[in-house]
Amino acid sequence: MDLPQPTAAARRLLLSGGLHAAAARTPHKPAILCEQATRTYGELADRARRVHGGLGALGFGKGERAAILAPNCIEYPELIVGIADAGGVAATLSARATPHELASACDDCQARILFVHPTAASVAHAAAFKSVERIIDLGDAYEAWIGAAVPRSPLADLAETDPFTLVYSSGTTGKPKGIVISHRSRSLTFHAMAMEYGCYGPEDLQLGIAPMAHGAGFAFIMATLYFGGTVDILPRFDPGLVLHKLASQPFTGVFMVPAHFQAIFGLEEATRARHRGGALSLRTIISNAAALPQAVKEKIVAYWGEGKLHETYGSTEAGVVTNLRPQFQLSKQHSVGPAFALNLIKLADDSGREVAEGEVGELYSTSPYLFDGYWQQPEEMRTAVREGWVSAGDLARQDEDGFYYIVDRKKDMVVSGGLNIYPREIEEVLLQHPAIHEAAVVGIADERWGEALRAYVVLRRDMRATPGDLDTFCRLTLAGYKVPRHFTFVGELPRNAGGKVLKKALVAHPA
């Protein structure tokens, strides 16, 4: 039998390609669960096509931007897929944004349309936009809009190199930047993730926790839908609920950021003990988005068992760069693993020359996963990219086996008395203290030394420690110049929505 020759359009790597294939293969299979709601693959694909059709009726054209302001919700994937299939670019914004931050981001990318979750409606309607022409509230208004739309398939002239999303950075090192990512970049990332983690097949059940407004949170959820699995999305993180779900339901994979693990191990021992020994189906635990302290890695392995934990290093700009597989979690301490599939990595000094094995240099990577650039910020692009190599501003060293060790962020390095000090090393030591739950170390201005170290410490429930105790403990491991001169006890560390500690906020308000 003669078959028609596949067209170039049929051979594209599009964000929605796997989802639409799964819908054709298993239309009645559950794709997404979120609280009491469920979408089958057939329903999800139809609704994404209706988003595309609805945008077309509004005159939304290829290359235009539409913004989403929402926590994790069942509508999130269909919105991004529908916008992408229309040739548009989805600007994913933090659900914690203020009216000013929201208007600034939307105006920056000239978003004409804004989709808003009910929990963020007051923020959206209080914002003074220059670019947004229409706000569509998720709920009855959205359902009416999508119900009236004519379903449309992906644009015939949509290329895999076209952008599908614009993710705004957390702004931990300055003004948030719009990070532009293509269909091809994320599709290839998904294929590599499926090979590496072993929990993204059609029979897998994933627990989705991290915010989809952030690059990693979206990628680790969307990869499940790309390959036809099922994902249960949590609208908000609840450590007790996560433990219960993992222990009582057949999840095969979960992605969490270090702050999630810290919260889980901050629960009362009786709560953790009640769920210990569950999660029998769980094969893969992935950590990403911030450094996972060695002390926390050991707790994860002790609680859920060996052979499951992956620590992945990367950035929204570079995608996944390295991965430390389960068998190395305890033997390669503090490592983030060797290069991830298709990655090339080099460590360079300030002049761009590669450093020798064991020496510290700025980590640059290149791969097919790289972003397309920063939205209308060419100067930032020149800072982050050197001749096709991307840096997130992290300092690292490499051992003789090709494993990488993140020493610290370049901008977090402290120079005290002319000596370079890496706060991450000190934080790892502090976290070994039995009374410490979390710790962050920063440099503060000092007349004598230029900068002095201050440690912010969160104590465990019902535990006590004094600055003198911590000073003595640090001196058992650290050279004197690395021991913080100040210890400040706080109830919690300031974090952004992605779980990263906001060290700029600590430096700005040191006491």
Q: How far apart are CA 316 and CA 319, in angstroms?
A: 5
Q: Are 473 and 388 found together in one domain?
A: no
Q: How far apart are CA 25 and CA 18, in angstroms?
A: 10
Q: How far is CA 503 from the centre of its chain?
A: 18
Domain carrying residue 455: 413-508
Strands 230-233, 30-34: pairing kind = parallel
Residue 334 vs residues 298, 337, 358: alpha-carbon distances, Å = 11, 9, 14
Cβ burial, residue 29 (10 Å; 0-12/13-18/19+): middle
Q: How far apart are CA 240 and CA 61, in angstroms?
A: 44
pLDDT per residue, tens digit, the chain (511 aa), is 455 566 666 688 999 999 999 999 999 999 999 999 999 999 999 999 999 999 999 999 999 999 999 999 999 999 999 999 999 999 999 898 899 989 999 999 999 999 999 999 999 999 999 999 999 999 999 999 999 999 999 999 999 999 999 998 755 445 678 999 999 999 999 999 999 999 999 999 999 999 999 989 999 999 999 999 999 999 999 999 999 999 999 999 999 998 899 899 999 999 999 999 888 999 999 999 888 889 999 999 999 999 999 999 999 999 999 999 999 999 999 999 999 999 999 999 988 899 999 999 999 999 999 999 999 988 888 888 888 999 988 999 999 999 999 988 888 888 887 777 888 889 999 999 999 999 999 988 877 777 889 999 999 988 999 999 999 999 998 888 899 999 999 999 998 777 788 888 888 766 6
- Tokens (6 digits) for 24: 């054709």
HEC profile of 289-315: CCCCCHHHHHHHHHHHCCCCEEEEEEE
Q: Are 41 and 164 found together in one domain?
A: yes
Q: How far apart are CA 318 and CA 370, in angstroms?
A: 5
323-338 as b/e, with b when 16 or more CB fall inside 10 Å? bbebebbeebebbbbb
Q: What's 477's domain CATH number?
A: 3.30.300.30
| Residue 27 within a domain | no
| Residue 191 within a domain | no
Q: What is the pLDDT of residue 350?
A: 87
Q: What's 326's domain CATH number?
A: 3.40.50.12780
Type of residue found at 310: H
Return the closest-CA partner of residue 208 out of 250, 242, 181, 239.
242
Question: 375 with 381: CB under 8 angstroms?
Answer: no
Q: How far apart are CA 511 and CA 506, in angstroms?
A: 8
422's CB contacts (< 8 A; 6+ apart) are 395, 407, 408, 412, 413, 414
Q: Are 387 and 438 found together in one domain?
A: no
Strands 361-366, 344-348: pairing kind = antiparallel
Q: What is the pLDDT of residue 462?
A: 86
Question: 202 with 241: CB under 8 angstroms?
Answer: no
- The vertex-176 CA angle with 170 and 177, nearest 5°, equals 110
The packing angle between helices 41-57 and 17-25, to 10°, is 130
| Residue 4 within a domain | no
Q: What is the pLDDT of residue 510?
A: 64
216-226 as b/e, with b when 16 or more CB fall inside 10 Å? bbbbbbbbbbb
Q: What is the pLDDT of residue 449?
A: 76
Q: Are 42 and 112 found together in one domain?
A: yes
Q: Which of 410, 431, 466 is the last residue in one of the domains?
A: 410
Q: Which of 136, 151, 182 is the last residue in one of the domains?
A: 182
Q: Are 255 and 352 found together in one domain?
A: yes
Q: How far apart are CA 24 and CA 510, in angstroms?
A: 57
DSSP run (H or E) holding 96: none
Q: What is the pLDDT of residue 496?
A: 78
Q: What is the pLDDT of residue 1?
A: 47
Type of residue found at 495: R
Q: Are 417 and 404 found together in one domain?
A: no
Please compute, for residue 281, the number of CA atoms within 13 A of its CA located in the half-sphere on the CB side.
Answer: 16
What is the number of other CB atoms lying within 10 angstroms of the CB of residue 489?
Answer: 15
Number of domains within the chain: 3
Q: Are 319 and 460 found together in one domain?
A: no
Q: What is the pLDDT of residue 175?
A: 66
Q: How far apart are CA 78 and CA 57, in angstroms?
A: 17
**Partners of 168 in the β-ladder:** 178
Q: Are 262 and 173 found together in one domain?
A: no
| Residue 221 within a domain | no
Q: What is the pLDDT of residue 243?
A: 96
Q: Are 307 and 397 found together in one domain?
A: yes
Q: Are 314 and 402 found together in one domain?
A: yes
Q: Which of 357, 387, 410 is the last residue in one of the domains?
A: 410
Q: How far apart are CA 52 and CA 110, in angstroms?
A: 19
| Residue 135 within a domain | yes
Q: What is the pLDDT of residue 419?
A: 77
Q: How far apart are CA 3 and CA 159, in angstroms?
A: 24
Strands 163-168, 178-182: pairing kind = antiparallel
Strands 486-489, 436-446: pairing kind = unpaired
Q: Are 317 and 466 found together in one domain?
A: no
Question: 410 with 394: CB under 8 angstroms?
Answer: yes
Q: How far apart are CA 165 and CA 15, in angstroms?
A: 10
DSSP run (H or E) holding 347: strand 344-348
Q: What is the pLDDT of residue 172?
A: 47
Alpha helices in 58-135 (DSSP H): 76-85, 99-108, 121-126
| Residue 426 within a domain | yes
Q: Are 276 and 366 found together in one domain?
A: yes
Helices (H) and strands (E) in the chain, counts: 16, 25
Phi/psi at 133 (nearest 5 deg)? Answer: -100, -25
| Residue 228 within a domain | no
Q: How far apart are CA 237 and CA 247, in angstroms?
A: 16
| Residue 477 within a domain | yes
Q: What is the pLDDT of residue 410?
A: 83
